[in-house]
């Protein structure tokens, strides 16, 4: 019955210009990926032996995983802290997280030299490898996210047996998800611990895993704010202002802890002298710390900002921009690249990243349209706004 309704709605579906543009990006991305599989990574990218990791790792992997952190943060708030009032924004966060991780995996299937062997991580395991931990945790956590989101897809069908089973194991599942997330969010920072001679001392620190985890939590909350704001506009819904305002109140504590540890670590390492903004790298760090952390802390400490949709959005965007810059700094800009070759991302690399992001947005919009994604619509029938 539901399938029938959905089908008739699909038949009447007239794609908007935005959908057509996103769809075009997806198709271009698929074509570029096919060229890569036929002729090699070098055929479509500017990656080389000096820069063996480029924007697919800096953006699609490192930023993708960090920006998907809203899912485990919200799940922890709703189920571990048992704050049920946050339930209306839980489902979209979990969907954002699941799609984010799915996008990461698609990007890795393009970036890996031998994607057909990705399962080797399950049989040949080197316990010293941080990347093994990242890979295994990301795979397992994506499965956890899928299970957490499955009820949304199934609950309007007659086949609700799995939904009941999933309800029964929700809390253990959420705890598993939070543990896996803590591990791989921090491990993405640990990936760079093995590069003490290559990563600039302003970023290299034994606390890299802690920094990555704290920024992931804060950017996860910021993404919940962004995604709620965007959904409110795109689907003409009310904004959950009170809930978002309470989330925003937590951000200064997390980012504040990050900022104190970050500056304390620089001071303890005797690196404060490197902060003099006379070199481009020091300027990048200043932008990260001021625009990406200090200003959002000030903004979200003010009640009037937290109560304004515009203030919430600006603060969230600053945090997101700061974390994206941080991930690029650590993995690309502040790295010393041996061998003397340069790197400027190619159009093909952008085509892959754009295609993946576009596919993610389309998938989100599709689920939002045909499934009970938003808490306040749970008892309403599906309506297509034409």
Binding footprint of another protein, residue count (CB under 8 A): 81
Q: Which of residues 354-383 bind another protein (CB under 8 A)?
A: 372, 375, 378
CA distances from 241 to 81, 235, 256, 274 (A): 20, 16, 23, 41
Angle ∠(105,133,38) on CA atoms, nearest 5: 35
In a 3-state reduction of DSSP, which class is residue 201? coil
In a 3-state reduction of DSSP, which class is residue 195? coil
Q: Which of residues 125-164 bind another protein (CB under 8 A)?
A: 125-133, 135, 148, 151-152, 155-158, 160, 163
Q: Cβ 326 to another protein, closest distance in Å?
A: 18
Q: Which of 74, 107, 191, 226 binds another protein (CB under 8 A)?
A: 191
Q: Cβ 223 to another protein, closest distance in Å?
A: 20
Q: Which of 22, 41, 71, 255 binds another protein (CB under 8 A)?
A: 41
Q: Which of residues 215-244 bind another protein (CB under 8 A)?
A: none
Name which of 15 and 40 has its Cβ closer to another protein: 40
Cα 313 → chain centroid? 17
> Do 29 and 351 touch, CB atoms closer than 8 A?
yes
Site string for another protein, 303-332 (x = CB under 8 A): ------------------------------
CA distances from 136 to 60, 181, 200 (A): 17, 11, 28
- The number of beta carbons lying within 10 Å of the beta carbon of residue 159 is 8
> Do 58 and 349 touch, CB atoms closer than 8 A?
no
Q: Across the chain, which distance is largest between two alpha carbons, in Å?
A: 68
Site string for another protein, 86-105 (x = CB under 8 A): -x--xx--------------
As a whole number of Å, the end-to-end CA separation of the chain is 22
Name which of 147 and 247 has its Cβ closer to another protein: 147
**Could you give phi then psi for residue 102, rounded to 5 degrees?**
-60, -40
User: Rule CB under 8 A: is residue 206 a binding residue for another protein?
Assistant: yes
- Exposure letters 99-136 (e unless 16+ CB within 10 A, then b): bbbbbbbbbbebbeeeeeeeeebeeeeeeeebeebbbb
Name which of 76 and 289 has its Cβ closer to another protein: 76
Token pair listed for 100: 């984010």
Token pair listed for 288: 């990260």
Name which of 213 and 354 has its Cβ closer to another protein: 213
Q: Which of 10, 21, 24, 194 binds another protein (CB under 8 A)?
A: 194
**Binding window for another protein (CB under 8 A); candidates: 8-16, 73-81, 230-238, 265-273:** 73-81
Q: Which of 9, 48, 307, 308 binds another protein (CB under 8 A)?
A: 48
Tell me how long the chain is: 386
Q: Which of 37, 235, 253, 350 binds another protein (CB under 8 A)?
A: 37
Name which of 82 and 385 has its Cβ closer to another protein: 82
Q: Which of residues 283-302 bind another protein (CB under 8 A)?
A: none
Q: Cβ 144 to another protein, closest distance in Å?
A: 12
């Amino acid at each position: 019955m539901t399938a029938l309704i959905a089908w008739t709605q699909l038949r009447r579906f007239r794609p908007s210009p935005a959908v057509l543009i996103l769809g075009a990006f997806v198709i271009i991305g698929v074509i570029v990926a096919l060229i890569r599989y036929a002729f090699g990574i070098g055929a479509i990218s500017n990656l080389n032996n000096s820069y063996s990791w480029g924007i697919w790792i800096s953006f699609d992997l490192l930023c993708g995983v960090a920006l998907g952190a809203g899912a485990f943060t919200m799940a922890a708030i709703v189920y571990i802290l048992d704050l049920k009032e946050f339930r209306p924004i839980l489902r979209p966060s979990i969907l954002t997280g699941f799609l984010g991780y799915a996008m990461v995996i698609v990007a890795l299937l393009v970036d890996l030299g031998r994607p057909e062997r990705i399962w080797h991580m399950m049989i040949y395991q080197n316990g010293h490898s941080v990347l093994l931990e990242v890979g295994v945790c990301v795979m397992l956590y994506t499965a956890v996210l899928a299970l957490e989101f499955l009820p949304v897809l199934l609950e309007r069908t007659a086949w609700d047996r799995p939904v009941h089973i999933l309800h029964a194991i929700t809390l253990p599942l959420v705890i598993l998800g939070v543990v896996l997330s803590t591990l791989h969010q921090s491990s993405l920072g640990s990936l760079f611990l093995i590069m003490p001679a290559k990563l600039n001392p302003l970023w290299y620190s034994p606390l890299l895993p802690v920094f990555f985890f704290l920024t992931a939590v804060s950017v996860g909350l910021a993404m919940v704010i962004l995604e709620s704001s965007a959904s409110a506009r795109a689907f003409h819904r009310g904004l959950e202002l009170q809930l978002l305002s309470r989330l925003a109140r937590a951000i200064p504590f997390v980012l504040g802890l990050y900022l104190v540890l970050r500056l304390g670590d620089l001071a303890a390492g005797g690196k404060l002298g490197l902060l003099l903004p006379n070199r481009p790298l020091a300027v990048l760090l200043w932008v990260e710390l001021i625009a990406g952390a200090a200003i959002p802390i000030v903004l979200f400490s003010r009640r009037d900002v937290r109560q304004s949709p515009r203030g919430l959005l600006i603060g969230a965007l600053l945090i997101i921009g700061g974390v994206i810059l941080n991930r690029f700094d650590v993995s690309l800009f502040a790295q010393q690249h041996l061998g003397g070759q340069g790197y400027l991302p190619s159009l093909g690399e952008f085509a892959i990243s754009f295609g993946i992001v576009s596919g993610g947005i389309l998938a989100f919009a599709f689920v939002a349209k045909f499934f009970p994604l938003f808490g306040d619509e749970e008892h309403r029938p599906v309506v297509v706004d034409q």
